Structure 1
Amino acid sequence: MTIPTWQFLERPARAEDYSENDTTEQLFAGPTADRTELAVSLVRETIQNALDARLDDNSQVKVRFTLSSKALNNKRAEYWTNGLEYHLGQVQASSGTQKILPEISEFITKNRVQSGLNYLLVEDFNTHGLVGATDRVIRSNSEDVKDENWHYFMFAKGKTNKGAGMQGSWGYGKTVCHAASGSHCFIALTQRDTDKRELVMGKTRLYSHQLESGNDSFPEGYFALPTRDFDSLKPWQPAENTEVIDRFKKDFGVVRESGVEPGTSIAILWPKFEKSSHEEEQITFDKILSAATYSFIYPLVEQKLEVEVVENGRKPVTVNSETIEQVIAEEIEWDETGENSRDYILKFFNMIWLQRTSNSEERLELKLPIEYQKDAGKTPGRGAGRTAMYREMISPHAEFIRNKLSRQATEDSAVVLRVPVEMYDDLDEGDPNWQTSYFDVVLRKNDQSDEEGGDYYVRDYLTISGMDRIKSRKGYMAFVYVSSGSWSDGSDPMGSPRLSEMLRLSEPPAHTEWQPDSKYVAHFRNADSRIRFVNAAASDIISIIEEKEKKPGMWQNKLAGVFGVASDEEGTDVRTPTKPRGPVISRQNNWVVEPRSDGNGVAVRFSPNEKSVMPDSILLEVHTQIEKPNGIGKYHDSLDFDFIDDLGEVKMESSDCVFEVVKPNAIQLSELNEGFAFELSGLNESWDYVFTTSVV
């Protein structure tokens, strides 16, 4: 019987199907990986792939992580490492001519292949398995590839066959299986629901190295059946005889009934269980459990997902809709404070229940302003336009929302809002018109009003983990949810495929944020403004309901471009147009506020004053001037500028002081020393600005 072995192709054979050396897996490993730990990336990528491959919308997907610190003995391990040691040695021999990742070099130097084989087993059930052709190369530009999961998992890198309603979008997620292994090796067994075939094949990503023929290899190697047919379009072939399949199940502890339980079992060889120089790269039971619970809390609550974590000598933990609250409360070591604390996660869980169970009578369904109903393409924009739109939608309900949120520590202390936004997709040939999409915002007041704000964002069933918009809003919590409707049971009419798809395409590979400047959303009209509109929802709504009832103040001096106009608030206002119109300076205590010399921005500087004491800190607020709806005049608004949105464009510099963005439109200067200076620049030159300073 022919048995599989680790093999590498010679170059340049089939060069179009294989890439050069790269470190794509580093997208998901170590401290530079989009702020995401390796264990977290592994959990997020493998579970989202399983959910994308679910049998149908009513199936509950089960994912099991088994951490086996007890190694297979050398005799059993040799079967699965057949041929690998030679190639590792050749890679090490090439280290003089190419840079090798330290972890690979260390693995080879310590001769880990001969020290037993431990593994991390990741399994999914109630999924389709890796379906699709196994006997030919798939050409994505000329074929329907949505069902070619085998090819895209095993052979394609940086490419995906996933479409709308799916979670993945980059085609890089599968490389996290390489990153999780000290040798970058994994072996997979898949049982397909389409043809009932069971297949075994492995893959590694090492480095180009010299083969026995004297020619260089490609960096990818495969644990597959031997082949010499290198010039054809036939890819590596998996093993599917009973002996290999049964041996895989026995050695790696797979319990999957043939022909009955479709899905995939991935054995990651020599996983990074041990501590290294980077704690972010260590994979542990607790990290896997907490990542699965936090990242997929929504489908767990929805009964769409069940996760089990198993480790030698430790009680297994199962997370599903019935156990999740107990697991959050008792099984996971969360951070002590902040939005990743146990208390916050439990409240996040409760906000999900509220969002899921609220009906049209219990939630506030906001209405688009008249001007947007008449002109769906009108851009909510950033700053003034966006805030004005939210204010018009929220104002009729502001008092009700304030009263709701004031009922602290009760089940009735939160409010659910459904927010509309108009969407147009130039690629939608079936219905090219503007369509109204919706997203939900859940707000609640924390019991401890002095604790920092916490906000959570979910698209379909994936928690977007890097968003932090209301940290400075002490006492508040928010949950923003966007659904494509592609995996719900149809009971909720919220499904907004255009909005969900735009946000999916705007996410980076680790799915940590919604990026307004993503080039992949250009076919959605005014995509950047729509993304900013969703991103700022919680922050803007909180600001509006916190506003005191007051009429917009008319400027005492109506001449545009005059600096030093007195404000009816405590502090000093400086108004600066696009270009400077005079060297007017405003003074307050021990500092001076003045426009920058180029007219674009403002400077706050130390100014000696013997009669005043240096304050502990100064609050600098930025406003834009906008026309009142009735055209009477201009006024400044506390919400129409947003540092959080504009940090990529606005430049801030300081000396002899420190600064922090404490509100969307406010910066706090502290640790002030004599001679301190702070400058703000990079503003939109087509707008007029008002800068207000006050002592904090």
Structure 2
Amino acid sequence: MVNQPLPQWRFRAMAPSEPNQNPIQGEFFSANLPERFIRESVQNSLDARAGREPVTVRFTIGGPERAVPVERTGRYLKGLQRHFEAVMRAESGSLAKDSDRRRELRSRVALLKEPLPFLIVEDFGTTGLQGDITANEIQAQGNDFWGFFRSIGISPKGEDAGGSWGLGKWVFPDASKLNAFLGVTRRTGETRFLLMGQAMLKLHELDGSKYPPVGFFAAGSKDDDRYWLPMPVESAGLRRRRGGVSEGAAACFVQAAMSEFGLRRAGEPGTSVVIPHPKDELTEPANLVRAAIRQYFHPIVAGDLVVEVAAPEEPTRRIDAATIVDEARRTGDGPEDDPEQRAEALIRAITLARWGNGQEDGLVEADARRKQPVIAADQVEQLRARYNDGRRLAFRVWSKVGGKSNSFTVLLEGDDSLDTGHDYYVRGHLHIPRMDYLTRHRARALIVVDNTSDLGHLLRDAEGPAHEKWRADAPRLKEKGWPAAAERVREVQNAAARILEALAEKPADVRRDALSDLFPADTGGRRGPGPARPGPSPIPSENRLSLRIHRVPGGFRLRPVGDQDPSGKTFEVRMAYDVARGTTTTALSRFDAGLRAGCPDFSLRNGQLHVQAEECEADVRSENELHLSVRGPDFSLGVTGFDERDLVVKVLPVEYATVEDHEEEVRTV
């Protein structure tokens, strides 16, 4: 018989010389708690898929009815209380006595003496947390147990996985009012269960010692802190280790915990996570159902994923390919949904995805490269007629990564009921939600990239830890050495818009001023050859703007013309992405429409764009407008962070900004 210690919570005492650091993972996640909790937990399960059968992820809300009684909570909190209380005391010390935050902290400490409600996340059809449970190297490629419990900011996952930053597991302690969780896993090829837990608190002091934020619920040990490695409690022993109680007691602890929390894990491999005292947002079934549909409608429709949500005194809600539309309609909208995330909009996207699953043999070939026609000339008229007739279109769009051809899928349908386009981007199984590149067309698009392709790997490196957006300037693209990475990212982002523009254009209509878009010009000058267009009269020559626009990577820069000195002058600067047909006013109006719909093309307010001002002041007035006050003759104003679409920049002296008779504009590419 092997002896194994019973578990307890333990934090490793720090040496006085160790640097102080608090967790900052939360800074990387902007979605609300149910969204990010569902997103990251399901992603982990899909990355551990065992075969071709769908992965099932079940969320069980324990609720007060099933809470662990007070007399039995100690076995799951032993050792955690004193550290949790130390953190709460430290934070409360800097707060006013009657502050809401201090009252909240006191209420959290009180939870330790109350029954323990819980939230369970279990996956089926997965491999469990594979890998050597004793490993703790700097890198452990393929060791999921190490990645889940022993690394932060380092991922053991391969290139084909959805996650890659090693930060997504932060959602589990973040979901708990105690900032802690327990995990039970059974791995493929094994009969034992492994139980271990992790707490993510803050740096704190206790009894004269300093402790790090991370602690573990692990098998007890008499080892000195310097040599202590937290090990899981096993339902069956591996090999003899020092100290502890009989194997039977440890095995009984694991089995008792599984029964206490109602885990359904029996003979199947997979992982179950217990969230003690879940935060309030996660105890409402509709929040979990809504988030699951939003984040994972594509793999659900494809038959790769099933999500179940169970709560006391309610029938279990099963979201699969057959029920997803009914569940979306039953759950309805959230309180602050943007247009693309409302139930009816998602149902339309789900219907488009379902249609697209049967179009593999009927895909139209298209080219993502900007220097090539996106659609072959001999197909444009036929496709335009089909689109104008209200029929859906499916494209296989080609790009090149490192000289190798890669393709992705674009599904399109027109919808005149939309104020602005709705576009949904999916890499593998993962929905990339913060992407809006279809604002100029009343259409719906679903863009799907194969996660196992070179293009999928490149786009994975273009994402941040929250996997919410593809950034053409993401640092990891350069670190990984992807050739022409920014161009590849933008090709995928703008593929649907380019196809729609090709279908909307009429070849017989020739823009005589088209070439003027290719060259920066002095403000106030004519934009191209051909007869002058009727329109507003120019600003008088004595008040002509003394500015010139220069194209720079990702944006533009305004500078004085020659040796002219515009010091003391103030200008209104407005910007928008250009439109295929129309004037500067049309482009600005389209931007305003997107802003009213809650999805502007860009924003000067949210940090997406970068403003660099030298010898001038730039006062941001709206998402696409700033006031420029020139302070010196060598002033420079740069705005970057745009994608590669043609950009319209309109500049007016403030004294003429509201006079309709005067208009001056600058275009750049």
Partners of 1:124 and 1:264 within 8 A in 2: yes
Q: Take 2:437 and 2:514, find their aligned partners in 1: how far apart are those partners?
A: 31
Aligned twin of 1:353: 354
Q: Secondary structure at the match of 2:357?
A: helix
Deviation at 1:89, TM superposition (A): 2.4
Please say if 1:676 is aligned against 2:657: yes
Match of 2:400, as an amino acid? Answer: E
Q: Which one of the candidate residues 159, 166, 172 is aligned to 2:167?
A: 172
Match of 2:136, as an amino acid? Answer: V
Provide Cα deviations, 1:491-533, integer angstroms capped at 9, x if missing partner. Answer: xxxxxx1000010111111110111111112211011111111
Q: Secondary structure at the match of 1:78?
A: helix
Q: Which one of the candidate residues 247, 255, 261 is aligned to 1:252?
A: 261
Q: Take 2:515 and 2:363, find their aligned partners in 1: how far apart are those partners?
A: 42
Deviation at 1:310, TM superposition (A): 1.1
Q: Take 2:623 and 2:43, find their aligned partners in 1: how far apart are those partners?
A: 41
Aligned twin of 2:274: 267
- The change in CA–CA distance for 1:336 and 1:25 in structure 2 (over 3 A counts) is closer
Q: Take 1:623 and 1:63, find their aligned partners in 2: how far apart are those partners?
A: 44
Q: Take 2:399 and 2:17, find their aligned partners in 1: how far apart are those partners?
A: 47
Please say if 1:532 is aligned against 2:535: no
Match of 1:264, as an amino acid? Answer: T
Q: Take 2:61 and 2:198, find their aligned partners in 1: how far apart are those partners?
A: 20
Partners of 1:659 and 1:669 within 8 A in 2: no
Q: Take 1:104 and 1:208, find their aligned partners in 2: how far apart are those partners?
A: 21
Unpaired segments ≥5 residues, structure 2: 235-249, 551-555, 560-572, 581-586, 588-599, 626-641, 660-664
- The change in CA–CA distance for 1:349 and 1:598 in structure 2 (over 3 A counts) is closer
Provide Cα deviations, 1:410-457, integer angstroms capped at 9, x if missing partner. Answer: xxx110111111111xxxxxxxxx210001111110152x53210000
Aligned twin of 1:439: 408
Query: After superposition, where does 1:184-199 map in structure 2 within 5 Å?
Result: 184-199=179-194
Query: After superposition, where does 1:326-341 map in structure 2 within 5 Å?
Result: 326-333=326-333, 338-341=339-342
Please say if 1:3 is aligned against 2:10: no
Partners of 2:302 and 2:354 within 8 A in 1: no
Q: Which one of the candidate residues 480, 485, 488 is aligned to 2:447?
A: 480
Q: Take 1:159 and 1:572, find their aligned partners in 2: how far apart are those partners?
A: 61
- The change in CA–CA distance for 1:99 and 1:123 in structure 2 (over 3 A counts) is farther
Partners of 2:181 and 2:273 within 8 A in 1: yes
Q: Which one of the candidate residues 482, 491, 507 is aligned to 2:463?
A: 507
Q: Take 2:68 and 2:155, find their aligned partners in 1: how far apart are those partners?
A: 34
Aligned twin of 2:510: 551
Query: After superposition, where does 1:107-256 map in structure 2 within 5 Å?
Result: 110-140=109-139, 145-212=140-207, 214-230=208-224, 235-240=229-234, 241-256=250-265
State the identity %: 24
Query: After superposition, where does 1:281-300 map in structure 2 within 5 Å?
Result: 284-300=284-300
Deviation at 1:536, TM superposition (A): 1.2
- The change in CA–CA distance for 1:556 and 1:283 in structure 2 (over 3 A counts) is closer
Partners of 2:520 and 2:549 within 8 A in 1: no
Q: Take 2:393 and 2:388, find their aligned partners in 1: how far apart are those partners?
A: 11
- The change in CA–CA distance for 1:586 and 1:654 in structure 2 (over 3 A counts) is farther
Partners of 1:117 and 1:270 within 8 A in 2: yes
Q: Take 1:620 and 1:210, find their aligned partners in 2: how far apart are those partners?
A: 53
Partners of 1:13 and 1:230 within 8 A in 2: no
Match of 1:91, as an amino acid? Answer: V
- The change in CA–CA distance for 1:407 and 1:560 in structure 2 (over 3 A counts) is closer
- The change in CA–CA distance for 1:414 and 1:588 in structure 2 (over 3 A counts) is farther
Aligned twin of 2:242: none
Provide Cα deviations, 1:589-621, integer angstroms capped at 9, x if missing partner. Answer: 9xx984626767679xxxxxxxxxxxxx99977
Q: Take 1:67 and 1:306, find their aligned partners in 2: how far apart are those partners?
A: 17
- The change in CA–CA distance for 1:423 and 1:107 in structure 2 (over 3 A counts) is farther
Deviation at 1:648, TM superposition (A): 3.5
Partners of 2:61 and 2:283 within 8 A in 1: no
- The change in CA–CA distance for 1:329 and 1:112 in structure 2 (over 3 A counts) is same
Match of 2:499, as an amino acid? Answer: I
Q: Take 2:24 and 2:107, find their aligned partners in 1: how far apart are those partners?
A: 20
Aligned twin of 1:279: none
Query: After superposition, where does 1:566-585 map in structure 2 within 5 Å?
Result: none
Match of 2:667, as an amino acid? Answer: F
- The farther-off stretch of 1-10 and 521-530 is 1-10
Q: Secondary structure at the match of 1:72?
A: coil
Partners of 2:175 and 2:275 within 8 A in 1: yes
Query: After superposition, where does 1:63-78 map in structure 2 within 5 Å?
Result: 63-70=57-64, 71-78=67-74
Q: Take 2:437 and 2:650, find their aligned partners in 1: how far apart are those partners?
A: 20
Deviation at 1:569, TM superposition (A): 9.4
Q: Take 1:208 and 1:224, find their aligned partners in 2: how far apart are those partners?
A: 20
Please say if 1:397 is aligned against 2:379: yes
Match of 1:49, as an amino acid? Answer: N
Partners of 2:425 and 2:433 within 8 A in 1: yes
Partners of 2:42 and 2:57 within 8 A in 1: yes
Match of 2:463, as an amino acid? Answer: E
Aligned twin of 2:667: 691
Deviation at 1:251, TM superposition (A): 1.6
- The farther-off stretch of 240-249 and 180-189 is 240-249
Aligned twin of 1:609: none
Aligned twin of 2:628: none
Q: Secondary structure at the match of 1:253?
A: coil
Aligned twin of 2:396: 418
Aligned twin of 1:430: none
Match of 2:657, as an amino acid? Answer: F
Q: Take 2:602 and 2:183, find their aligned partners in 1: how far apart are those partners?
A: 43
Q: Take 2:469 and 2:496, find their aligned partners in 1: how far apart are those partners?
A: 15
Partners of 1:189 and 1:264 within 8 A in 2: yes
Query: After superposition, where does 1:83-102 map in structure 2 within 5 Å?
Result: 83-95=79-91
- The change in CA–CA distance for 1:198 and 1:299 in structure 2 (over 3 A counts) is same
- The change in CA–CA distance for 1:107 and 1:226 in structure 2 (over 3 A counts) is farther
What is the TM-score with the length of structure 2 in the denominator?
0.76
Deviation at 1:107, TM superposition (A): 5.3
Partners of 1:188 and 1:264 within 8 A in 2: yes
Match of 1:197, as an amino acid? Answer: R
Q: Secondary structure at the match of 1:255?
A: coil
Deviation at 1:357, TM superposition (A): 1.1
Q: Secondary structure at the match of 1:480?
A: strand
Partners of 2:129 and 2:185 within 8 A in 1: yes
Q: Secondary structure at the match of 2:233?
A: coil
Deviation at 1:690, TM superposition (A): 5.4
User: Matched residue pairs, number?
Assistant: 575
Q: Take 1:130 and 1:194, find their aligned partners in 2: how far apart are those partners?
A: 12
Q: Which one of the candidate residues 43, 47, 50 is aligned to 2:42?
A: 47
Partners of 1:121 and 1:266 within 8 A in 2: yes
Q: Take 1:510 and 1:292, find their aligned partners in 2: how far apart are those partners?
A: 16
- The farther-off stretch of 169-178 and 464-473 is 464-473
Q: Take 1:314 and 1:597, find their aligned partners in 2: how far apart are those partners?
A: 66
Partners of 2:462 and 2:474 within 8 A in 1: yes
Match of 2:313, as an amino acid? Answer: G
Deviation at 1:22, TM superposition (A): 1.9
Deviation at 1:8, TM superposition (A): 1.0
Partners of 1:296 and 1:462 within 8 A in 2: yes
Partners of 1:439 and 1:480 within 8 A in 2: yes
Partners of 2:366 and 2:375 within 8 A in 1: yes
Q: Secondary structure at the match of 1:90?
A: helix
RMSD over aligned CA atoms reads 4.3
- The change in CA–CA distance for 1:133 and 1:553 in structure 2 (over 3 A counts) is same
Match of 1:536, as an amino acid? Answer: N
Provide Cα deviations, 1:13-48, integer angstroms capped at 9, x if missing partner. Answer: 997xxx8532334246xxxx33x1111111111111
